Amino acid sequence: MESKKTTIHDIASKLGITASTVSRALNYDSRISLSTRDKVIELAKKMNYQPNKLAANLRTGHGKNIGVIVPRINRNFFTGAIAGMESITNPAGYTLMICQTNENYGSEQKSLQSLINNRVDGIIMSVSAETKNSDHIQRVIDMGIKLVQFDRVSNELKVSKVVNDNFKGAYELTKHLLEQGYKRIFHFSGPLHLNVYQERYKGYQQAMEEADLNVNKEMLIKNVLTKVQGANAISSLLESKNLPEAIFSASDFSGIGAAISLQNKGIKIPDDCAIAGFANEPFTEMTQPGMTTVEQFSEKMGKHTAKLLIMDIEEQEGSVDPTIIKIDTKLIIRESSYGNKM
Q: Does 49 bind DNA (CB under 7 A)?
A: yes
How is residue 266 annotated by DSSP? T
CA dist list (Å): 187 to 100, 225, 245, 253, 331 = 28, 11, 11, 14, 17
Helix (H) or strand (E) holding 162: strand 160-164
Q: How many residues bind DNA (CB under 7 A)?
A: 31
Residue 95 touches which of DNA, a copy of itself, none (Cβ within 5-8 Å per kind): a copy of itself
Report if residue 18 touches DNA, rule: CB under 7 A.
Answer: yes
Instruction: Count the neighbouring beta carbons within 10 Å of the beta carbon of residue 181.
Output: 13
Q: Which is nearer to DNA, 30 or 240 (CB)?
A: 30
Nearer Cβ to a copy of itself, position 62 or 341?
A: 62
How far, in Å, CA of 188 to CA of 234, rounded? 10
Among the listed ranges 16-24, 27-35, 36-44, 111-119, the one in contact with a copy of itself (CB under 8 A) is 111-119
Going residue by residue from 67 to 86, which x/- string records binding to a copy of itself, judged by CB under 8 A? Answer: -----xxx-x--xx-x----
Q: What is the DSSP letter of 132?
A: -
Judged by CB under 7 A, does residue 118 bind DNA? no
Interface with a copy of itself by CB under 8 A: which range of 35-43, 121-129, 240-248, 256-264?
Answer: 256-264
Report d(CA 313, CA 319) in Å as an integer.
Answer: 9
Whole-angstrom Cα distance, residue 53 to residue 272? Answer: 61
* Binding region for DNA (CB under 7 A) out of 15-23, 140-148, 174-182, 252-260: 15-23
Single residue of 59, 266, 321, 342 touching DNA by CB under 7 A: 59
By CB under 8 A, tell whether 2 contacts a copy of itself: yes
Following DSSP, what letter does each residue of 214-241 receive, concatenated? ---GGGEE-S--SHHHHHHHHHHHHHTT
Number of Cβ within 10 Å of residue 100's Cβ equals 19
Instruction: Report the alpha-carbon distance of residue 165 to residue 167 in Å, rounded.
Output: 5
The count of other CB atoms within 10 Å of the CB of residue 137 is: 24
Residue among 3, 28, 48, 60 that touches DNA (CB under 7 A): 60
What residues make contact with a copy of itself under the rule CB under 8 A? 1-3, 5, 48, 50-55, 57-58, 63, 72-74, 76, 79-80, 82, 95, 97-98, 114, 116-119, 139, 142-144, 227, 256, 260, 263, 282-283, 285-288
What residues make contact with DNA under the rule CB under 7 A? 4-5, 7-9, 16-21, 23-24, 26-27, 30-33, 35-36, 49-52, 55-56, 58-61
